[in-house]
Structure 1
Amino acid sequence: MLREIELAVLPEQISDESYIIRQGAKQLNIAPTRIKGLKIHKRSIDARGKQVVYRIRVIFYIDEIPVPDILHFQYANVADAPPVVIIGAGPAGLFAALRCLEKRLRPIVIERGKNVQERRRDLAVLNKSGIVNADSNYCFGEGGAGTYSDGKLYTRSNKRGDVQRVLEVFVAHGATEDILVDARPHIGTNKLPHIIQGIRHTILEHGGEIRFNSKVVDILERRGCVGGIKLASDEEIIAEHVILATGHSARDVFELFHRKRWLVEPKPFALGVRIEHPQQIIDQAQYHCMVRSDHLPPAYYSLVEQVNDRGVFSFCMCPGGVIAPCATDKGEVVVNGWSPSKRNNPYANSGTVVQVNLADIPQATRYPFALMDFQHEVEERAYVVGGGNLVAPAQRMVDFVEGRLSNTLPVNSYKPGTRSAPLSDVLPPFVHDALQKALPLFGKKMKGYFTNEAILVGVESRTSSPVRIPRDKETLQHPQIRGLYPCGEGAGYAGGIVSAAIDGMNCADAIKDFEI
């Protein structure tokens, strides 16, 4: 017999299976000897009270021996199957490819960037010298933006598809089973590249194809139907189905659509800064302690306020993390954040951003790239104010709110370097004003947050795509081009690794013509 119950467990007892069995037996009113095993189904930290506890949902095996779960995926050999071209090897593209294997379709994944091993070298140059490879950076390359920007798997996208399926695929390719249990699952930037390689090997072993350093310059079309793609090398790949999963920073793809007079439209996004605190401040605030217990992970936070009817919120919070340069072209500064699997860096950072609506940009009513151009202009200003070489403009938090230039900046994790500068010279006035008003309010919600020990680094601008490529709700195809499936973050239908992966699977499922 199996029984599932919820228990509250002190941090120092979370790894003590015998203690959990005793507590479970007490709640179930049975002898502990009747429990032959247990499985923690879900696990989360509850820091609302003075005593921090883990809340766990536990399946107890009563009078029967546990049978281990076996993750099994039925991938066919598709070497001779009909082709599906997938543009982009981020989570949307890779999970679309895996689903194609299940559907007995042959995925041909086209990635403008490099594989994870070679990509790492370009990131080293980016961090040390401020030199951007436009096709191999934190946004472009195998695994997409998520590979080297944290690997957080937290999502609210349950209604979009099978979140558990995505997590199980990661586990099958090397992720720890903890991600199946934790309320806020996280892989870590140091481990995700190996997992992405495992997914690549699965695709290749079953007859799929992946091409790196291959940039798509045209999508072939005839009489309203997809005919394939054209690469920068002039090679054409013929296919009746193309999944477009290029990510939120592939501005050249949006421009290609515009040149071909295919529908694209502006989309709201969010813009702001990345804020970094010493991790100890966040731990003290969230865990109500002077020193965090070794049995607790570095603390995270999630904050939101309404300022002048506009949302201001924390985004992509990275405990024990690093601020990273995420520019995709020269002459711009873009920042993001990531954490290693152990989250053991001394800083905590989070994007802190303000809603940018269509009404904020008057040209948006007549020009589909109005918000994209607005985004790019802010990134270029950040580059100029920072002084070049990806040095980022920055202010201490209280100085920012009180309108003072910071005389000094705290030591921080952003490797290209920071320069003290008024962020009012970079951020649009409505964004700057909203942040100034929101940060003290955040400080009232979380003790210690509002401090000059925190640094604001500009700019956090790639929160989501400022352009949407429309698609039919039923077929997921572009309304003008049969066989073309706009997909993932770049098309405006996802926000993060898991939701992008789900959208990739959904787009592959939408390919009906070749089903058997």
Structure 2
Amino acid sequence: MIRISQMKLPVGHTREQLEKKIAKILKNPGCSFSYEIKKQSLDCRHKNDKIFVYTVDVKIRDEQKIARKVNNNNVMVTKEKVYQFPTPGDIPLLHLPVIIGSGPAGIFCGWYLARAGYRPLILERGEEADKRQKTVENFWKNGVLDPDSNVQFGEGGAGTFSDGKLNTLVKDPYGRNHEVLKRFVEAGAPNEILYQQKPHLGTDVLIGIVQKMRQDIEDMGGHFRFRSKVTDLHFTNGSLTEIEINGQEKIPAQVCVLAVGHSARDTFEMLHRRGVFMEPKSFAVGLRIEHPQSMINEDLYGEAENELLGAASYKVTHKCANGRGVYSFCMCPGGYVVNASSEPGKLAVNGMSYQARDSRNANSAMIVTVSPEDFPEKGPLGGVSFQRELERKAWELGEGKIPVQLFGDFCKNQPSVSLEEITPCMKGEYTLANVRSILPETVGNSIEEGVHSFGKRISGFDRNDALLSGVESRTSSPVRIVRDSDLLSNIEGIYPCGEGAGYAGGITSAAMDGIKIAEAISKKYRNF
């Protein structure tokens, strides 16, 4: 096929114009062709002349001859790389492989193992996606927290209640990234995610997708058990032998995938007691910031609204005078700040968008990197203690409600007593407070400096009535469960996987790591 890159068209172009552009670049070859869009990105540097930039693959006769005739550095002959799942290994599996967790890592590991005939058993402490949605909405409305089924736990994982971003910076020579996007499309996602520069799936779409993938896994011989919390693991001579569920039932196991998610603190504690090697990991903490979406659109697009482009997004970073990095994270255009708590007496926030991204506010996390040197306790679980202390302060400050502060008051380190032009778009109750009092001094100072710096790049970003809420403490896992070159922990049969194990950061990278673990299991063990 022929790959054409750097192909530019106005934002409002038609399909016919795209096809004419391809023909023109190929110097009107005079024969029919088909094409597939591989990448679409938006160039807004000239706000009065916004353009889409495409990479397309064209299938056509005599491709070598046409490419030589065109003689253009942006036109080349290429071969399509086809993803290959490994053939089964030689070691017999005596028991079904067990996957702990049904977030992206667990679901994708399960899907590929099921397709290869391994009939995996997926254990999930929370509820099925539709039941979980009702439980979460009841929490937001009435404050009734279910510690095992909430924004963090349940079918689909923490990413289900997020902006659903699907872009990743993970290098992908094996084609796993495209596999993830293909699986999503086959489960009901729009085809555009295959090529958009910043693809996303809103919470309303993700819920249906994870249910469809569960059905696929079950149709291929896999099994799911919900409300099945893994409370212990049993080893003999350094190898896994049993898994304990809900503190009472024990099942035999030879292979176990730890796709537990970044908030499975009780599981981390259990693994630490059992001698599974772990180490503390740097992550980031901070607050959510809200602005009018129309303000972000105006700055980035040059207009308050553009139906063709949707809600604008941003990404900003700053190196502070104190040496800390502060940056935006999980930016949610047209989104909501949500109460993402999972433990009683502790409060954490996150950002979420629906597919339409049509709320009046944009929000993102303003976060600052912290390292094991900042943690109050040493050892593998020091970061967990650090998170819990911040969340305890946030819960106490808001008495269970999300504490909110205007940026102008944040800079003065004083409680806010009234809102101005911006009103919160939130899931869960909120109350005005001095959010800065939650944070370590160095984190608060870094956020103040960072927001002022971002105001020089995005007009109005540091306006006094921008809303800050907190605490954003679950940006990534505070631990890394150590694994070797075969992707095994120090216990034979235990495969740490995904974001909770410290090997991913977001939906797509977690799903890719799930595929990677499925490959490792297949290379070693025979299927049933």
- TM > 0.5: yes
1:280-325 Cα deviation digits (max 9, x unpaired) = 0110111123x32221121000000111221111001111111111
2:57 to 38, 56, 59: 59
Give the drift of 1:334.
Answer: 0.6
Q: Would the aligned equivalents of 1:153 and 1:184 in 2 still touch at CA under 8 Å? A: yes
User: How many residue pairs align between the two structures?
Assistant: 499
In structure 2, how many angstroms separate the alpha carbons of the residues matched to 1:424 and 1:354?
A: 13
- 1:45 paired to 2:11: no
Q: Secondary structure at the match of 1:500?
A: helix
1:203 to 217, 223, 227: 217
**Letter matched to residue 234 of structure 2:** L
Map of 1:265 onto structure 2? 279
Q: Secondary structure at the match of 2:169?
A: coil
In structure 2, how many angstroms separate the alpha carbons of the residues matched to 1:118 and 1:311?
A: 39
Q: 1:265 to 1:485 in 2, by over 3 A?
A: same
Map of 1:296 onto structure 2? 309
Give the drift of 1:12.
Answer: 1.4
Q: 1:467 to 1:62 in 2, by over 3 A?
A: closer
Map of 1:310 onto structure 2? 324
1:356 to 358, 363, 370: 370
Q: Secondary structure at the match of 1:114?
A: coil
1:406-449 Cα deviation digits (max 9, x unpaired) = 23123111132322211221111111011111110011111221
Give the drift of 1:37.
Answer: 4.2
In structure 1, how many angstroms separate the alpha carbons of the residues matched to 2:427 and 2:152?
A: 17
Q: 1:278 to 1:250 in 2, by over 3 A?
A: same
Q: Secondary structure at the match of 1:324?
A: strand
Give the drift of 1:203.
Answer: 1.0
Map of 1:133 onto structure 2? 146
Map of 1:27 onto structure 2? 25
In structure 2, how many angstroms separate the alpha carbons of the residues matched to 1:149 and 1:23?
A: 37
1:366-414 Cα deviation digits (max 9, x unpaired) = x2222211110100100111122xx111111233224343231231111
Q: 1:426 to 1:103 in 2, by over 3 A?
A: same
Q: 1:20 to 1:218 in 2, by over 3 A?
A: same
Q: Secondary structure at the match of 1:83?
A: coil
Q: Would the aligned equivalents of 1:82 and 1:514 in 2 still touch at CA under 8 Å? A: no
In structure 2, how many angstroms separate the alpha carbons of the residues matched to 1:384 and 1:316?
A: 25
1:467 to 467, 479, 496: 479
Q: Secondary structure at the match of 1:182?
A: coil
2:197 to 180, 183, 201: 183
In structure 2, how many angstroms separate the alpha carbons of the residues matched to 1:72 and 1:127?
A: 42
Q: Secondary structure at the match of 1:191?
A: helix
Give the drift of 1:115.
Answer: 0.1
Q: 1:143 to 1:73 in 2, by over 3 A?
A: farther
Map of 1:492 onto structure 2? 502
Map of 1:380 onto structure 2? 392
1:506 to 490, 511, 516: 516
2:487 to 449, 462, 476: 476
Q: Secondary structure at the match of 1:127?
A: helix
Q: 1:5 to 1:505 in 2, by over 3 A?
A: closer
**Letter matched to residue 8 of structure 2:** A
**Letter matched to residue 165 of structure 2:** K
**Letter matched to residue 515 of structure 1:** R
- 1:340 paired to 2:354: yes
Q: Would the aligned equivalents of 2:94 and 2:254 in 1 still touch at CA under 8 Å? A: no
List aligned pairs for 1:71-470, cutoff 5 A.
82-159=95-172, 162-232=176-246, 234-289=248-303, 291-307=304-320, 308-361=322-375, 363-364=377-378, 367-388=379-400, 391-409=401-419, 410-470=422-482
Q: Secondary structure at the match of 1:12?
A: coil
Q: 1:255 to 1:5 in 2, by over 3 A?
A: closer
**Letter matched to residue 338 of structure 2:** A
Map of 2:11 onto structure 1? 11
Q: 1:157 to 1:386 in 2, by over 3 A?
A: same
Map of 2:66 onto structure 1? none
**Letter matched to residue 487 of structure 2:** L
In structure 2, how many angstroms separate the alpha carbons of the residues matched to 1:178 and 1:239?
A: 40
Q: Would the aligned equivalents of 2:117 and 2:220 in 1 still touch at CA under 8 Å? A: no
Q: Would the aligned equivalents of 1:38 and 1:59 in 2 still touch at CA under 8 Å? A: yes
In structure 2, how many angstroms separate the alpha carbons of the residues matched to 1:421 and 1:283?
A: 29
**Letter matched to residue 493 of structure 2:** G
Q: Secondary structure at the match of 2:184?
A: helix
CA RMSD of aligned residues (A): 2.4
In structure 2, how many angstroms separate the alpha carbons of the residues matched to 1:263 and 1:459?
A: 29
**Letter matched to residue 4 of structure 2:** E
In structure 2, how many angstroms separate the alpha carbons of the residues matched to 1:453 and 1:42?
A: 38
Q: Would the aligned equivalents of 2:185 and 2:191 in 1 still touch at CA under 8 Å? A: yes
Q: Secondary structure at the match of 1:230?
A: strand
In structure 1, how many angstroms separate the alpha carbons of the residues matched to 2:114 and 2:142?
A: 41
Q: 1:453 to 1:56 in 2, by over 3 A?
A: farther
Q: What are the ranges of 5 or more consecutive residues in structure 2 without an aligned counterpart?
A: 63-79, 88-92
Q: Would the aligned equivalents of 2:83 and 2:179 in 1 still touch at CA under 8 Å? A: no
Q: Would the aligned equivalents of 1:313 and 1:352 in 2 still touch at CA under 8 Å? A: yes
Q: 1:425 to 1:404 in 2, by over 3 A?
A: closer
**Letter matched to residue 405 of structure 1:** P
1:162-200 Cα deviation digits (max 9, x unpaired) = 100111111111111111010111111111111101110
**Letter matched to residue 113 of structure 1:** G
Q: Secondary structure at the match of 2:227?
A: coil
Q: Does 33-42 or 378-387 show the bigger shift?
A: 33-42
Give the drift of 1:27.
Answer: 3.0
TM-score, structure 2 as length reference: 0.90
Q: Would the aligned equivalents of 1:267 and 1:468 in 2 still touch at CA under 8 Å? A: yes
Q: Would the aligned equivalents of 1:160 and 1:499 in 2 still touch at CA under 8 Å? A: no
In structure 1, how many angstroms separate the alpha carbons of the residues matched to 2:486 and 2:407?
A: 47
Give the drift of 1:98.
Answer: 1.3
Q: Would the aligned equivalents of 1:82 and 1:105 in 2 still touch at CA under 8 Å? A: no
**Letter matched to residue 97 of structure 1:** G
In structure 2, how many angstroms separate the alpha carbons of the residues matched to 1:102 and 1:415?
A: 38
Q: 1:440 to 1:509 in 2, by over 3 A?
A: same
1:448-488 Cα deviation digits (max 9, x unpaired) = 2111342011111000111221111x111112x10101111
Give the drift of 1:26.
Answer: 3.0
In structure 2, how many angstroms separate the alpha carbons of the residues matched to 1:332 and 1:475?
A: 37
Q: Secondary structure at the match of 2:298?
A: helix
